[in-house]
Structure 1
Amino acid sequence: MTDPAAPSALAAWRMALWITVALTAVRLAAIFITPLELYPDEAQYWLWSRTLDFGYYSKPPMVAWSIWATTLGGDSEPMVRLSAPLFQAITALGVFVLARRLYGAQIALAASALYHVMPGVQLSSAVVATDAPLLACLAWGLALYVYLPQAEGRRRLVAAAGAGALLGLAFLSKYAALYALMGVALHLVLDRDARRIWSPPMITAALGAMLLVLAPNLIWNAAHGFATVAHTAANANWSPSDLFHPGEMLDFIGSQFGVFGPIPFVVLVVGGGLLAWRRRLTPADLLLLCFTAPVFLIVTFQALISRANANWTAAGYVTGVILVAAWLLRWRAKGWYIAALATQGAVAALFLSFVISPDLAEQAGMANGFKRAKGWSQLTEAMTDRAMHDLRVSAIAVDDRFMFNAAAYYGRDYFARPDAAPLRMWVRTAHPQNQAEATDPLTTAEGERVLAMSLEPDFTPEMKADFVRTGETEFVNVWLDGERSRRAEMFTGEDFQPRPRDPLTGLPTPP
């Protein structure tokens, strides 16, 4: 029976729209007010956006394209991050549309609201990264996918092509879009009615649109030795001699309570298991589980074999949160839904207050979570000031990719000068391990007089040993909060002559 108090489809849409507008305005205000600096990965994405391409060393191009678009108005931190809350707003509305087509307006509104307060979404709204555009493309691509049974004639063909194109854009955001392809395949295997919908012209339209959108990135990868694909695969870090890490798996599972939300994660796991066991899944439940379960199961297995980051399950957020909202309302467990919404809303408000005022995070004992977004501008200023007072410097070299990315951003005014020494990366191993080492290595041609900065104390002696002569060491210490600081060693090195690297380990030979 329909709940007489349930909002109409139009009223629910308006409410979801106003919630999205209000929360997005708050998030935009937070990123414009916060004193937090760019996280080094954000700085790297900004650096990529200065040279538009169809691919980059470790990620597909969407994040760089987004930053390029938002920084047309300036390169400040808020402009770099501007796309993150906007993509999440688009995703939340996509969640509503997808859920409404499967379950109706009441559950759609509940799912959209719950999505807004997911802890992982809070972080993704404040930091520019690959998850936000991925989720936006997946949400609307799936909305078109579930529209196919209702469409007729040419509209069905157009919807199939649109779903394929959005899946292609999802791949351009993050290769975790592969989970959506798995979801489609699994759904078609398990649902006979779903298979009947797909005619050869529709399959051609969907695959053709996806490949058309994805083709430039595939061509770029082929021209660059499939660098991005190889880097993504390397993140799995499987070692036949060191398999099975139950502790890592338990840590990962625990992290999902933090990023998905404690109550929703329990509902997703327990509810999905019980309904599947009792064979009480509705067709809509089955569809969404096909797009949710593989993500969590595969990444959990990856954590057992090696390791996994908490956000690697992001591709399951959209469908997972709809399932949680649908089950809680179907089971008449509105109290649990309200509890989830209230607790996660409180956490979201607390997180935004920490973003706006990091001092509050320090007082609450949470400063450690923000340390990587502090101190980079001061280290860069110390380095560029030293370079400006030594006109003989032929290059500036660092031994840490985080420092390289941060220096590229916070030293952008200095490095834009025609007389500036170029920023380079000292390569420790025989082969590049990151994009900075691959594209901007320190070479002997630029090694006449190098201003070097080391953030890795264990590497500093090795770095110095690659120079014929080194000057006195200056220590630079930047306080991040009342307890933590970031320390660097800075020195001049003359006549850069890198020692041979061990052919087996790739490491420098002992000095």
Structure 2
Amino acid sequence: MSTLSDLSGLESDSGAPGGGRDQRSPEPVRWLPLLSVCAVLVAVLLLLAGRYGYYMDELYFRVSGDHLDWGYADQPPLVALLAKVQIAVFGDSVFALRVVPALLAGTTVLVTALISRELGGSHRAQLLTAAATAGSLASLAAGHVLHPTAVDHVVWLTACWLVIRMIRTSDTRLWLGVGAVVGVGLLAKYLVLLLVLGLAAGLLVAGPRALLRDWRLLAGVGVGVVLAAPTLLWQAVNGWPQFGMASELSSPFGVESVVNLVISSVLMIGPLLTPVWVIGLVALFRRPQWRQYRAFGVAYLLIFALLAVLGAQARYTEGLLTVFLAMGCVVAAEWASKLSRSALLGTAVVGNTVIAALLALPVLPIGAYGEDGPLGGFGEPQVGQTGWQELTTQIGAVYHALPAQDQARAVIYGDNYAQAGAVDRYGPEIGLPAVYSGHNSYADFARPADDKTVVIAFGVDRARFSALFGQCEARGKFTFELPVLDRDKEILVCRDPVQPWSQLWPRLRWLGTF
């Protein structure tokens, strides 16, 4: 009976020639099977892209695309640019925002299969890696909505693939490619710096250290810095607001944060494929032919420890977990020589794909994620894509009930960027006035003119907001059948701001999540 040690390669390092370096050339890539898996994933993601509605962050990115800048308080500029381009090409729709994420998810599958090839994986292992990656929760979630993670995920994997290839071939010219990938990644999400620091520490601890002494490493750093310079300069000029966002996303260190990291690590790839990536991580430290790649294992352990101390989110490690999934697939493909083992492995991949799809994709009627539905409590990513048009309609009812003279002086205020983004998207269709928010960079897009003295406010703290106006009264609550975050929040009508908007606005600005 096979054990974890059998699967991961228990043999000692001591007899490995050349310090355990694998001298075999990788098998040629069979492009058709791999690209077929990528194409199926992209097709499924695009077919489901228009179901439900915008995810809350997408409403913000859509508006950010109309206010292009080199940076924002909570993100670099690339995702806003992608939103702008996709809307220009495909139209102003949910589907339009999700074309690039779907294509990036397909790219992720291909790159991960190439990682398994670099590690000595057979054609079978490469195909298994592609199928497992396509069926992981990380890939499906990143490929379904427009989010910095859609870019960040493929950036991590591409950088890891280039480093693995560089270790195998000793071709340090690849440092230039790593630098370019990291530079582009910094335009989408600053999190890639975590990978850079982790791998640098891993190479220093586990080797091969010669890569760190090569002059092309400095050239690669230069390429990355040049590409990321505009957004880094924007952060510097604006007081590094990203540090404030990082603080908001952290929580105190404790047993609970460690437990959450472990549970999230199981869910990120999927429960049925977690044994595969765990086997890959163990094999990385036990297989002599993979000794040269152990920097990745050291990097993961260091990053995991850092996230635990900072109380940060485990999904920041999903790129490395996908690398370990590729390693585990190499081992599993070797193990599954019998039909029964192949069937067991195939069942795990299919089952994991089904679970991941139910959690990340709109494959079921939305009611399945309601309080009384079979997946109630697991549907935040799904439920977060609903209710925005209904919210706008109910805010619109309050606006249209105002006297004409009040309507002429009215604006709408959303406490967070998703509420404001929803009204920006659906409000013009029903004749609503301009909408504003003090949340993150939405506060920088615009503020009301001083002659706007009537505010329809939603989602705000009533006591705090009322102190800024001569009077505030509730005109209703947002009603919706699903447990969305905004359900039952009040719609207020406030009049006569106590200060001009130019002085009031700094008091309404806030940085953080919701």
Same fold? TM cut 0.5 = yes
134, 144, 153: which is aligned to 1:116?
A: 134
Q: Which amino acid in the other structure matches residue 342 of structure 1?
A: V
Query: Are 1:75 and 2:77 an aligned pair?
Result: no
Q: Which amino acid in the other structure matches residue 106 of structure 2?
A: A
Which residue matches 1:60? 76
Conservation of the 8 A alpha-carbon contact between 1:259 and 1:311: yes
Aligned equivalents of 1:409, 1:198: Cα separation in 2: 49
Q: Cα offset for 1:247?
A: 2.6
Q: Cα offset for 1:58?
A: 0.4
Q: Which amino acid in the other structure matches residue 178 of structure 1?
A: L
Q: Cα offset for 1:102?
A: 1.9
RMSD: 3.4
Query: Are 1:316 and 2:323 an aligned pair?
Result: no
Which residue matches 1:97? 114
Aligned equivalents of 1:237, 1:483: Cα separation in 2: 24
Which residue matches 1:464? 466
Aligned equivalents of 2:184, 2:428: Cα separation in 1: 30
Aligned equivalents of 1:20, 1:143: Cα separation in 2: 17
Which residue matches 1:30? 48
Aligned equivalents of 2:486, 2:224: Cα separation in 1: 47
Structure 1 runs, 4 residues or longer, greater than 4 Å off: 8-11, 149-152, 197-200, 278-281, 330-336, 360-364, 437-443, 482-485, 498-501
Distance 1:219 1:190, change over 3 A: same
Q: Which amino acid in the other structure matches residue 495 of structure 1?
A: D
Conservation of the 8 A alpha-carbon contact between 1:172 and 1:214: yes
Aligned equivalents of 1:300, 1:482: Cα separation in 2: 30
Q: What does 1:229-308 align with in structure 2 at a 5 Å threshold?
A: 229-238=243-252, 244-269=253-278, 272=281, 276=285, 282-283=290-291, 285-303=293-311, 308=312
Query: Are 1:396 and 2:391 an aligned pair?
Result: no
Cα deviations across residues 79-115 of structure 1 (Å, max 9, x unaligned)? 1122211111111111112221222343222222111
Distance 1:116 1:284, change over 3 A: farther
Distance 1:140 1:274, change over 3 A: closer
Conservation of the 8 A alpha-carbon contact between 2:211 and 2:217: no
Distance 1:339 1:298, change over 3 A: farther
Conservation of the 8 A alpha-carbon contact between 1:469 and 1:494: yes
Distance 1:309 1:145, change over 3 A: closer
131, 146, 155: which is aligned to 1:137?
A: 155
Q: Which amino acid in the other structure matches residue 64 of structure 1?
A: A
Q: Look up the SS of the partner of 1:103 in the other structure.
A: coil
Query: Are 1:182 and 2:187 an aligned pair?
Result: no
Distance 1:478 1:396, change over 3 A: same
Distance 1:262 1:316, change over 3 A: same
Query: Are 1:214 and 2:223 an aligned pair?
Result: no
Cα deviations across residues 368-405 of structure 1 (Å, max 9, x unaligned)? 51322211111112324543564333322233443123
| Greater relative contact order, per chain length (Cα 8 Å cut-off, separation 6+) | 2
Which residue matches 1:475? 476
Aligned equivalents of 1:311, 1:56: Cα separation in 2: 22
Q: Cα offset for 1:135?
A: 1.6
Conservation of the 8 A alpha-carbon contact between 2:199 and 2:296: no
Q: Cα offset for 1:270?
A: 6.4
Aligned equivalents of 1:483, 1:283: Cα separation in 2: 49
Aligned equivalents of 2:303, 2:187: Cα separation in 1: 18
Aligned equivalents of 1:231, 1:373: Cα separation in 2: 23
Aligned equivalents of 1:301, 1:286: Cα separation in 2: 23
Moved more, 252-261 or 263-272: 263-272
Q: Look up the SS of the partner of 1:396 in the other structure.
A: strand
Q: Which runs of 5+ in 2 are unaligned?
A: 1-25
Which residue matches 1:434? 440
Aligned equivalents of 2:105, 2:292: Cα separation in 1: 24
Conservation of the 8 A alpha-carbon contact between 1:354 and 1:361: no
Conservation of the 8 A alpha-carbon contact between 2:284 and 2:297: no
Which residue matches 2:175? 160
Aligned equivalents of 2:342, 2:54: Cα separation in 1: 40
Distance 1:482 1:252, change over 3 A: closer
Which residue matches 2:16? none
Q: Cα offset for 1:412?
A: 5.1
Aligned length: 465
Distance 1:195 1:247, change over 3 A: closer
Aligned equivalents of 2:190, 2:428: Cα separation in 1: 30
Aligned equivalents of 1:282, 1:169: Cα separation in 2: 29
Conservation of the 8 A alpha-carbon contact between 2:475 and 2:493: no
Q: Which amino acid in the other structure matches residue 31 of structure 1?
A: A
Aligned equivalents of 1:465, 1:353: Cα separation in 2: 42
Conservation of the 8 A alpha-carbon contact between 2:307 and 2:314: no
Q: What does 1:359-438 align with in structure 2 at a 5 Å threshold?
A: 359-362=367-370, 364-368=373-377, 369=379, 370-387=382-399, 390=404, 391-411=407-427, 421-425=433-437, 434-437=440-443
Q: Look up the SS of the partner of 1:486 in the other structure.
A: coil
Aligned equivalents of 1:275, 1:144: Cα separation in 2: 17
Conservation of the 8 A alpha-carbon contact between 1:169 and 1:214: yes
Q: What does 1:340-351 align with in structure 2 at a 5 Å threshold?
A: 340-351=348-359
Q: Cα offset for 1:360?
A: 4.4
170, 177, 186: which is aligned to 1:171?
A: 186
Aligned equivalents of 1:130, 1:290: Cα separation in 2: 26
Conservation of the 8 A alpha-carbon contact between 1:394 and 1:446: no
Q: Look up the SS of the partner of 1:180 in the other structure.
A: helix
Query: Are 1:128 and 2:134 an aligned pair?
Result: no
Conservation of the 8 A alpha-carbon contact between 2:137 and 2:360: no
Cα deviations across residues 475-500 of structure 1 (Å, max 9, x unaligned)? 14332339998224334322111699
Conservation of the 8 A alpha-carbon contact between 1:85 and 1:125: yes
Distance 1:436 1:481, change over 3 A: same
